[in-house]
Amino acid sequence: MSNITKPNTIFWVIGIVALLWNILGVGAYLAQAYMPNEALEMLTQGEQDYYNNYPAWATGSYAIGVFGGLLGCIALLMRKKIAILLFTLSLLGVLGQQVYNFFLQDYIALDGTRMIGPIVIIVICFFLLWFAKAQKQNGVIS
């Protein structure tokens, strides 16, 4: 039987904050996926074109990113090693979505402050994957 290490306060703080972050991500995904026409019509023409032409594969990547992150946080808090797989899927989903946003779509210019959000999301995904791996190595998750 392996030795299980008791998680410290930082583990719980990071896990709970990450869970809340991913709940917000799921909310953002659902808001985009089910945006009513009235809300869409209030956006600029470029934003309307962006949402109207958002490809299914990018939507799927977005869903994998947010739901993988949410499930990864739940698994992390339950101290299950499947969190690593779920955070890996989340990262891949986010990277797929951002490939579309940064390199393929030409409806909205991603420059200046519009780049901060996507970059922060990518950094957080990498961090959560690293954190889960570190917790497995330290014996906190099994």
What's the CA gap between 129 and 16, in Å, rounded?
A: 15
| Chain segment 6-18, per-residue pLDDT in tens | 999 999 999 999 9
Note if the pTM is more than 0.95. no
- Is the distance from CB of 22 to CB of 66 less than 8 angstroms? yes
As a whole number of angstroms, the distance between CA 141 and CA 15 comes to: 12
Question: pLDDT class for 2, splitting at 50, 70, 90?
Answer: low
User: How many alpha carbons fall within 13 Å on the CB side of residue 83?
Assistant: 29
Ordered by start, the domain boundaries in the chain are 9-137
Degrees, nearest 5: CA angle 108-111-117: 90
pLDDT digits (tens, 9 = 90+) for 71-120: 999 999 999 999 999 999 999 999 999 999 999 999 998 888 889 999 99
